[in-house]
Structure formats: structure tokens, C-alpha cells
């Protein structure tokens, strides 16, 4: 088996892996969204919020479902706020905001929603603070401004671990494929030298991937 054939097989395998992964993400997001809609129709807000957040977590660029889930969470937060249920409204806005932060890598999706949630969270927290204080030494506007500064402070994931995570993922997948096509003979015998090389590269790449996940 020549290098060109191996490269073709690898490209086909990686393409199929990418396609199946995207299909799984889109399908899971849609299933979670449908579950959320069912709970919302029965006025089970807590369960619907949970499933809308899960639909958002299964994020894929250009997929419509996460955007629809964000709109639903925002609408629920606003409805709770108009009903003077500030505690649950605050919780919903925080879930929406944290959902986008949980899926960011080297870029942050949903910045519009994050900014809107920052405003709402700061407003509700300042309102709660001033209502609980008998001596209003700090005004509502000042407290809201303080909260906004804290919320808008950008703490992006560490770029290096994120890059290492992505490189590690493709590295261990590639190591498995190379082991199959280069370390095994057509008769099924293991070629020791390439086998040791690709097994070593698998463990190194897998370690990079896990390390990146925990440190990004």
C-alpha cells in the first residue's frame, strides 16, 4: 500500500468522522430542543430550561437549533421578570450566559446574548442588593455599574491549552488510523517498529487532548 493510497484512506476516514460527529451534534441538539418544547407546553419551566440549555450546549456553527434555544431561554427569563419572579429570572439569564461560555474555544459564540444577559443580571442583582439594604449608601445605578464591570471582564480560555486540545484530538485519531494502515500487514501481522511508534504517538496525543480539556 503506497503513500498516496494511505493518504486517501486517511482523508476519507477523517471526513467521515467529521460528518458523523456533526450529524450527532445536530441530532442531539434537536432532540433536546424538542424535549424542552414538550415541557414548556406543559408549563414545566424548570425542565424546559434544562433541556434548552442542553440544546445550546450541543453547539455547531451555522446550526439554527442553539440560536432558537437561546431565544427561548431569553423569552422565559423575560416572562419570569415580568411576573416579578426575580430569583428564577436571574437563574435563567445566568444559565443562558454560562451556556455560551461553556462552548467557547479560541472564540466566543453568542456575544450578543452574553451582553444582553450581563445587563439583565447586573440589573436584577443591583435591585436585590438595594432592596435588602436599609441604609442606601450605594445607589442602584452605582451597584449595577459595579456588577456590570465584573460581568463584562473577559476571561477567555487559555489559547495554548485550547490549541493543544485540538492538536491532541486529531493526533490520537490519526495515530489509530496510521496503526491500522501502516503497522498491520495484509495478513494481519503486527510490524513492531511502526506499531510502537504509533502506539507511543497515540498516548502522547491522547494525553495532550485530556490536558487541554482540563486546562482550557
Together in a domain, 152 and 165: no
C-beta neighbour count of 100 within 10 angstroms: 21
| Per-residue pLDDT tens over the stretch 66-86 | 999 999 999 999 999 999 999
Question: Which position has the grid cell 486529531?
Answer: 170
Together in a domain, 30 and 133: yes
Phi, psi of 198 (to 5 degrees): -75, -30
Q: What is the pLDDT of residue 134?
A: 64
Kindly report the CATH number assigned to the domain that includes residue 70: 1.25.40
Together in a domain, 169 and 83: no
Residues with Cβ within 8 Å of residue 69, at least 6 apart in sequence: 29, 32, 33, 36, 52, 53, 55, 56
Is 7 inside a domain boundary?
no
Q: What is the pLDDT of residue 139?
A: 84
Is 6 inside a domain boundary?
no
Task: Show the cell assigned to 140.
Answer: 442602584
Q: What is the pLDDT of residue 62?
A: 86
Q: What is the pLDDT of residue 43?
A: 93
Task: Show the cell assigned to 181.
Answer: 494502515
Together in a domain, 77 and 99: yes
Number of domains in the chain: 2
Together in a domain, 150 and 183: no
Together in a domain, 69 and 171: no
Together in a domain, 176 and 76: no
Give the range of the structural domain holding residue 206, as residue numbers without chain letter: 160-215
| Per-residue pLDDT tens over the stretch 83-120 | 999 999 999 999 999 999 988 876 788 999 999 999 99
Q: What is the pLDDT of residue 33?
A: 97
The whole-angstrom distance between residue 45's C-alpha and the CA centroid of its chain comes to 22
Together in a domain, 56 and 133: yes
Q: What is the pLDDT of residue 161?
A: 77
Judge whether 121 and 97 are in contact, CB under 8 Å: yes
pLDDT for 2 beyond 60: no
Element (H, E) at 49: helix 45-57
Q: Read out DSSP for 121-145?
A: HHHHHHHHHHHH-SS--S-HHHHHH
Together in a domain, 132 and 35: yes
Q: Which of 68-77, 155-164, 185-194 has the lowest mean pLDDT?
A: 155-164
The pTM of the full predicted model, rounded to 2 decimals, is: 0.74
d(CA 107, CA 104): 6
Together in a domain, 61 and 133: yes
The mean per-residue pLDDT over the stretch 126-142 comes to 80
Amino acid at each position: 500500500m503506497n503513500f498516496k493510497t494511505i493518504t486517501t484512506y486517511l482523508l476519507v476516514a477523517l471526513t467521515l468522522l467529521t460528518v458523523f460527529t456533526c450529524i450527532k451534534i445536530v441530532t442531539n441538539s434537536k432532540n433536546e430542543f424538542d424535549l424542552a418544547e414538550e415541557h414548556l407546553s406543559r408549563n414545566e419551566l424548570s425542565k424546559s430550561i434544562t433541556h434548552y440549555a442542553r440544546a445550546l450546549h450541543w453547539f455547531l456553527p451555522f446550526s439554527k437549533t442553539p440560536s432558537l434555544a437561546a431565544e427561548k431561554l431569553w423569552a422565559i427569563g423575560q416572562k419570569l421578570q415580568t411576573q416579578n419572579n426575580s430569583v428564577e429570572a436571574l437563574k435563567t439569564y445566568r444559565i443562558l450566559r454560562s451556556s455560551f461560555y461553556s462552548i467557547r474555544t479560541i472564540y466566543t459564540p453568542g456575544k450578543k446574548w452574553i451582553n444582553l444577559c450581563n445587563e439583565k443580571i447586573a440589573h436584577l442583582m443591583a435591585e436585590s442588593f438595594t432592596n435588602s439594604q436599609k441604609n442606601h449608601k450605594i445607589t442602584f445605578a452605582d451597584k449595577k455599574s459595579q456588577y456590570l464591570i465584573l460581568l463584562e471582564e473577559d476571561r477567555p480560555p487559555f489559547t495554548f491549552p485550547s490549541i493543544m486540545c485540538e492538536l491532541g484530538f486529531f493526533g490520537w485519531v490519526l495515530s489509530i488510523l496510521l496503526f491500522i494502515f501502516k503497522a498491520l500487514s495484509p495478513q494481519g501481522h503486527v510490524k513492531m517498529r511502526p506499531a510502537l511508534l504509533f502506539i507511543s504517538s497515540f498516548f502522547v496525543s491522547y494525553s495532550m487532548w485530556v490536558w487541554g480539556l482540563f486546562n482550557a
